[in-house]
Each structure stands twice: as C-alpha cells, then as structure tokens.
C-alpha cells in the first residue's frame, strides 16, 4: 500500500496531476449538468440528471480530497474554489454552456463512453490502493451514466423529426471538442510510466466503435472523425465559458473564505 509518505517525488507529482485532471473534468461537467435541476423535460429525467451531476461532483470531491492529502492542503475546497480558470485542467467539452437537452445528452454520452474505457483500464494497472478504490467505486456509476445517455441518444435519434434534428445538431456541434479527451502531454506520459494513467490510443478504436454503432442505430450521421479538434485546455487554454462558470460557482466561497460549512 502506498501513501503520500512513501511515494517517490516524481510519482507523487504524477499522481496529484492525474487526480486533478480527472477531478476537474467531473467537477465542471457536474456543475453544467446541475444547471438542469428543475428544468428537465420530465420529472424522472430531472431527477436522473440531478443524480448524474451529484455523482460527478462526488467523484471530484473524493479525488480532490486525496490530492489535498498528498499536497498538504487543508481540504478539497482549495481546488474547487480558490484556483483561477488558467489553473483548471478540465477539457473544454466539460465547460461548454449547458445547451439544450439534446446537447446535454450528447455530451454525457461522449464523455461517459470515454470514462468507461479509461476507468476500466486504470483499474487494472493502478497500484495505489486509495486511488484504485475510488476508480472501482466510481466505475459503477459511470456505467449507469453511459447506459442512461445511450438510451436517450437512441430515443431522440430514432424518435420524432424534431428530436432527430436536435440530437444530430448536438453531435455536430460538440464533435470538435471530443478529440481532446485523447490528447496526451508530458504530464500524462510521466503518469503512464508510473502506472497512474494509460495511453488513450489503446482504447480509441473501442470508443469510436461504440459511439459509431450507437449513432448508426439511432439513425444519425456520424460526424467527420478527421475534422479540426479543439485542444490545449489541460494546459490552461480554456474557452471563455469557464471563467464565467467559475465566477458563479466560486463567488460565495471566495467572499467568505473563512466560513465553515458545518
């Protein structure tokens, strides 16, 4: 069992970086999905989206807590509330505005499909017991996110003329942000060398097959896989949308930095 006291410096840094990247994705996307609270197309879906948002924010909280332990921070609040947009490591797909219901479903589906294959492989290689335990617990909820969003893609795509058009437009709009999920940089390579991350190209074909098969079953056109893809968010080059999201999310906590949640 490895703890922050026994992890070699480079491995500890790689672990913290991996934890923050996973957590930032889930915090920001969870916040976006939470914006549907009270606005879902039907009561059951309103509750389902709220639960998915809570799952993702809960995943982020657990990952931040371990990162705080490793870095000696007081608690996980530092990462969520006291960093500026340039310090966040989430991909742009997670920070885009809420959009309509079809856009939300398309985003959850693409992200959950990626997370499904990523976590599946991480569970097999990560030796750190605390990190691996979180991966296994969160993976159970990721499978639900994938199943739920896939069912909606099929329902919307093969539904009415309007629902078909909406979900097609959603995939066409968001597709240019999907490639960034597979980008690897130097920090990822260090994590891979320390069995803390995986080469995403190892499962890209599996991801593409599930996505393509789902879109075709939903009678949708598959966007061009070779089109321009947005990149750079892991290095702090975000869209203008993240700053606005953080201004809303962090305002109260920054206004009262010494406040106690209890």
Do the Cβ atoms of 33 and 56 come closer than 8 Å?
Answer: yes
114-128 residue pLDDT tens: 999 999 999 999 999
Our CA angle for 214, 217, 223, nearest 5°, is 60
Please state the CATH superfamily assignment of the domain spanning residues 11-254 in this structure: Ferritin, core subunit, four-helix bundle (1.20.1260.10)
219-251 residue pLDDT tens: 999 999 889 999 999 999 999 999 999 999 999
pLDDT band at 40 (very low <50, low <70, confident <90, very high): confident
188-201 residue pLDDT tens: 999 999 999 999 99
pLDDT surpassing 50 at residue 4: no
Please report, for the chain, the start and end positions of each structural domain, with discontinuous segments joined by +. 11-254
Q: How far apart are CA 192 and CA 201, in angstroms?
A: 12
Do the Cβ atoms of 50 and 34 come closer than 8 Å?
Answer: yes
- What share of the chain in percent tops pLDDT 90? 84
Cβ-based neighbours of 66, under 8 Å, separated by 6 or more: 19, 130, 131, 134
């Amino acid at each position: 069992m490895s703890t922050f006291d026994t992890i070699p410096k480079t491995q500890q840094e790689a672990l913290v970086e991996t934890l923050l990247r996973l957590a930032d994705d889930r915090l920001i996307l969870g916040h976006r999905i939470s914006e549907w609270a009270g606005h879902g197309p039907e009561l059951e879906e309103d509750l389902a989206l709220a639960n998915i948002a809570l799952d993702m924010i809960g995943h982020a909280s657990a990952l931040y807590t371990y990162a705080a332990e490793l870095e000696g921070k007081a608690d996980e609040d530092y990462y969520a509330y006291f960093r500026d947009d340039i310090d966040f490591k989430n991909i742009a797909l997670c920070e885009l505005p809420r959009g309509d219901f079809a856009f939300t479903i398309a985003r959850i589906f693409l992200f959950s499909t990626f997370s499904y294959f990523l976590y599946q492989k991480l569970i097999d290689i990560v030796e750190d017991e605390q990190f691996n335990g979180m991966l296994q617990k969160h993976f159970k909820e990721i499978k639900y996110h994938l199943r739920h969003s896939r069912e909606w893609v099929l329902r919307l795509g093969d539904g009415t003329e309007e629902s078909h058009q909406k979900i097609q437009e959603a995939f066409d709009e968001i597709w240019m942000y999907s490639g960034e999920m597979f980008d690897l940089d130097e920090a990822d390579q260090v994590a891979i060398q320390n069995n803390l991350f995986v080469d995403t190209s190892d499962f890209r074909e599996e991801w593409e097959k599930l996505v393509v098969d789902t879109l075709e079953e939903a009678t949708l056109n598959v966007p061009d896989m070779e089109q321009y893809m947005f990149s750079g968010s892991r290095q702090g080059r975000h869209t203008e949308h993240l700053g606005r999201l953080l201004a809303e999310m962090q305002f109260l906590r920054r206004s009262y930095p010494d406040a106690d949640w209890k």
